[in-house]
Amino acid sequence: MTSLSGAAMEVALDGLLADVDPRGPGCVLRVTVDDEPVAMAARGLADIGRARPVGDDVPMYVASVAKQFTGAVVAELVNDGVLHPDQRVGRWLPELSPALGDLALHHLVHHTSGVRDVYALAALAGLPERHLGNPDRVRALIGRQRCLQFPPGSRHSYSNSNYILLAAVVEAAVGMPLSQVAHHRFFGPLGMRSTAFADGSGYPGYLPAPDGWLRRPTPFMVPGPSGLTATARDLARWHGELIARPGLLAGLAVNRPLVTGDHHRYGYGLAWEELGGRRAYAHSGFLPGWAAEALVVPSAGLSVVCLACTSAVPAVTLARRAAAIAMDDPAGSVAEPQDAPGPVTYLSDDRRSVVRVRHSGDKALVSTGGGALAVSLTSPPTPALPGGARVHVNGDSLTIQNQWMPPERFTLVAEEASEHLPVGDFTNDELELTVQVDHDAIAIRDTNVPLQPVARNIWRGQYQVLGLPLDLVVHHHSGEDDSWIELNLLRAHGLRFRAAS
């Protein structure tokens, strides 16, 4: 472990937070070794209006960090014999469509189900964000899916819908909401007094605005994939439990290879990777206004937690840099520099995702469906995608390697692009949605999305999901007797819209 003293470690952590505005939304970094706090650095404010400083005792919204607690509840119910990974979801949730009901629980746990992400579906269906805390509305939207994005078990595709369904399964199996089960099994016994699902008690989040910062109240989201408020101190307690109970951690680290034989590294709400030659387990959380990373290295007795009340702070990167310092590994988890072409466009093998690469000074800006990754051409790149994804360019092919997923491959677009989409109305019954297409744009409810041609019968634009501009990839298909378009958003692919009669 680290050769630094606690004081020296705090100086190092303070240096990592040097870019955080002390008068703006804040960030806290906490490092714990062998269940003893080694160092904590905090900079900025938890509540700008009240000048409340941030700290490791300040409850913040941690978004998808919640998944490990949902996974832990499911893993313990499996250990108790209440649930089994091979049970059909429809056994517990008979109201689901046949496609969803026939899934096994392990498909949901490991994100290999093919179920589309509920937040993308909600944006298309016009469900306001304030309704994302209503379990009935959210589950009904998920349950209307009649087909999946891919055959179950054939791919890993992260989807918040999976953990909403798992929360519903837990409630059906034990007769108690997930929030209560998590409290009884974990939060209460571990003294995690400031950690709770869906109580709205956390401090606000902030988004950059022209005149400063836009305040966002803590969202009320259906528990399971998110909806959790916690402090850095509480999450360090949880890490201490994972280190002290190897059997608990082993239960969360169970997964299954894909039916293709490919492997992923996502278990029961936790992913794993190698840091400094040691196995690390982590999960990030992100929502416009908040960013979080909770990382534990059991063999080193190390816990690193980074929480920020603004999504402008790179929590994933900061936590890994802090872990590298703690393990005397200055190289961290950086990658080798590489050349990259640009500006060019790549299509995924299934032609449903687009990646654009362009040069910007000494960097290549790689834009994906859900964000951008600046790949340095002169020094090791900084991770910017969830989990520290890496981009590798090799001639006409490009590969994105996330910490827990099999590599996703893209091919350089060399074909001539189609100029215009067909004009007309197209309808999707599952979403109860009709869109209007007009040559080079598509109108979705009250939003007009300009489209740019990418390849033959493929166009792309951007559509807002929870305040994030995500790639919308549109395909046009035509047959002798039928014509339809397919909409593809990040984590919600293959939505077919048929020409309205």
Structural domain span for residue 433: 424-499
323 shares its domain with 299: yes
198 shares its domain with 317: yes
Q: Residue 347: which pLDDT band, with cuts at 50, 70 and 90?
A: confident
Residue 496: predicted pLDDT: 92
Residue 388: predicted pLDDT: 54
What is the overall mean pLDDT for the chain? 87
Categorise residue 156: left if φ over 0, alpha if ψ from -120 to 50, beta otherwise.
Answer: beta
In a domain, 297, yes or no: yes
The Cα 177–Cα 205 span in angstroms is 26
Over the stretch 109-139, which tens digit does the pLDDT of each residue have? 999 999 999 999 999 988 888 888 889 999 9
| Strand partners of residue 495 | 487
The Cα 58–Cα 44 span in angstroms is 12
What's the whole-number mean pLDDT along residues 203-207?
A: 93
Q: Residue 363: which pLDDT band, with cuts at 50, 70 and 90?
A: low
The Cα 356–Cα 198 span in angstroms is 37
Q: Residue 337: which pLDDT band, with cuts at 50, 70 and 90?
A: very low
Over the stretch 243-278, which tens digit does the pLDDT of each residue have? 999 999 999 999 899 999 988 899 999 999 888 889
Residue 175 predicted with pLDDT over 90: yes
In a domain, 298, yes or no: yes
More confident site: 334 or 307: 307
Residue 360 predicted with pLDDT over 70: no
Contact residues for 173 (Cβ-Cβ < 8 A; gap 6+): 77, 82, 83, 92
Q: Please choose, from the candidates 395, 391, 366, the residue with its C-alpha nearest in 3D space to the C-alpha of residue 380.
A: 391
Choice among 79-93, 271-285, 337-351 with the minimum mean pLDDT: 337-351
What torsion do the CA atoms of 341, 344, 346, 351 make, to the nearest 10 degrees? Answer: -170
Residue 172 predicted with pLDDT over 70: yes
The owner of tokens 């634009």 is 461
Backbone phi, psi, residue 450, to 5°? -65, 145
Residue 338: predicted pLDDT: 47
Distance of CA 339 to the CA centre of its chain: 28
In a domain, 136, yes or no: no
473 shares its domain with 367: no
365 shares its domain with 254: no
Choice among 169-173, 317-321, 362-366 with the minimum mean pLDDT: 362-366
The Cα 162–Cα 113 span in angstroms is 8
The type of residue at 16 is L
Residue 381 predicted with pLDDT over 50: no
Residue 389: predicted pLDDT: 62
What torsion do the CA atoms of 68, 70, 75, 78 make, to the nearest 10 degrees? Answer: -170
385 shares its domain with 407: yes
Residue 358 belongs to domain with CATH number: 2.40.128.50
In a domain, 9, yes or no: yes
Q: Got the DSSP string for 295-331?
A: EEEGGGTEEEEEEESBTTS-HHHHHHHHHHHHTT-TT
Return the HEC string of 114-150: CCCCHHHHHHHHCCCHHHHHCHHHHHHHHHCCCCCCC
Residue 35 belongs to domain with CATH number: 3.40.710.10
220 shares its domain with 302: yes
Residue 382: predicted pLDDT: 41
- The answer to whether residues 169 and 90 touch, using CB atoms and an 8 Å cutoff, is no
200 shares its domain with 273: yes
- DSSP symbol at 104: B
Residue 415: predicted pLDDT: 76
260 shares its domain with 374: no
Residue 158: predicted pLDDT: 92
What torsion do the CA atoms of 226, 232, 237, 239 make, to the nearest 10 degrees? Answer: 70
- Domain-terminating residue out of 333, 355, 380: 333
252 shares its domain with 319: yes
Helix-, strand-, coil-residue percentages of the chain, each rounded to 5: 25, 35, 40
Q: 4 in helix, strand or coil? A: coil
256 shares its domain with 230: yes
Number of domains in the chain: 3
Residue 391 predicted with pLDDT over 90: no
- The answer to whether residues 21 and 344 touch, using CB atoms and an 8 Å cutoff, is no
Report the 10 Å Cβ neighbour count for 207: 16
392 shares its domain with 451: no
In a domain, 140, yes or no: no
Choice among 64-78, 384-398, 428-442 with the minimum mean pLDDT: 384-398
Q: Got the DSSP string for 158-205?
A: --HHHHHHHHHHHHHHHSS-HHHHHIIIIITTTT-TT-EES---SPPE
- Domain-terminating residue out of 310, 333, 356: 333
- The answer to whether residues 414 and 423 touch, using CB atoms and an 8 Å cutoff, is no
Choice among 149-153, 339-343, 350-354, 447-451 with the minimum mean pLDDT: 339-343
Residue 331 predicted with pLDDT over 60: no
302 shares its domain with 361: no
